[in-house]
Amino acid sequence: MSGAVKLVRNEELSSVAEYAYAATAEAPTRVVWTAGACPLDEHGATVAVGDYAGQADQVMRNLVTALRGAGAELSDIVKTTVYVASTRQEDLVKAWEVVRSHMGEHDAPSTLLGVAVLGYDDQLVEVEAVAVTS
């Protein structure tokens, strides 16, 4: 590691994850890459089991916290990827509607996709983001 990248940890989020919640790299602008935000509470337990919208809400609240720890906010996001553990489009839409509501008028480019499984027990939704600040 060259020292240009700073891994950001946030004590407001669960320490169960085996990775930093965000990373920054200095350049003409400051770029923030987040790990996938998961539907975990402060103790590392999956919330809203079986509820796509409920998990998406927790994911977005955790994403806000991770971004804040790196000095960014939702309006700094330049790209998100939304993962939903389902083969049913209606489940993807349930998660997406919550993600979009959190983003407000800041409709950054995003990829929404269904996947077979996500990393934590009972996890249905995950969102990763790239943000840029000046």
Over range 124-129, report the average pLDDT.
Answer: 98
Taking the CB of residue 113, how many other CB atoms lie within 10 A of it? 9
> Could you tell me which residue, 5 or 115, shows the higher pLDDT?
115
pLDDT for residue 4? 55
Over range 107-123, report the average pLDDT.
Answer: 95
Over range 57-85, report the average pLDDT.
Answer: 96
Least confident window among 49-58, 59-68, 80-89, 104-113:
104-113
Predicted TM-score (pTM) of the model is: 0.87
Residue 3 has pLDDT above 80, yes or no: no
